[in-house]
Amino acid sequence: MKSRMKYFSLFLLVIVFAFSSTGCSNLSGPTDEDVIKAINENKYYKSGVGVFTLQAPVVILKKGSRNKDGSWPVKVKVIITHAVGRDQTSEPKELTPTFNMYKAKDNTGVTIWNAELVP
C-alpha cells in the first residue's frame, strides 16, 4: 500500500511540474502584447475611408476569466478617429470597448490571437 502511494504521489508531482513548466497554454489567457497586437490588426481599426483609426496605444483596463466558448474578455481604452472624407477626419474620441480574444491559426499554421468586438 505504501509503495502505491509513493508511486502515485511521484506521478502527481511529475504531472504538476509538467503543467507548470510548460505554462499550460490551453489554460492561460493572452498576454498584454498578444492583446495589443490582435486589436491593432483588427478589421475595425484599419486606416481608410469609413473605418476607425487608432490614435494612441491601446491601454488594457481589465482582463476577464475564460468564457464557456473559450474566449477571454478584455476591456481596453482606445482613442480613435473616423475618416469622414478623403482628407478629413473626426475629432479624437476615447472609447472603452470590450473584446473577446480567440485563438486561431493563420495561413501558415501559426497559432495567433484574434480580437472580436463585443456588441
Residues 87 and 70 in one domain: yes
Residues 75 and 38 in one domain: yes
Residues 38 and 21 in one domain: no
pLDDT at 4: 78
pLDDT at 100: 93
pLDDT at 62: 93
Domain, as residue range, for 72: 31-117
Domains held by the chain: number: 2
pLDDT at 76: 92
**Secondary structure letter of residue 89 according to DSSP:** B
Residues 38 and 13 in one domain: no
pLDDT 10s digit of each residue in the chain, 119 long? 667 777 877 777 777 766 665 555 556 788 889 988 888 887 777 655 556 778 878 899 999 989 998 899 999 998 888 877 777 888 888 989 999 999 988 889 888 899 888 88
Q: What span, in angstroms and rounded, lies between the C-alpha atoms of 32 and 59?
A: 9
Q: Sign of torsion, CA 56 34 117 107?
A: positive
Cα end-to-end distance, the chain, whole Å: 57
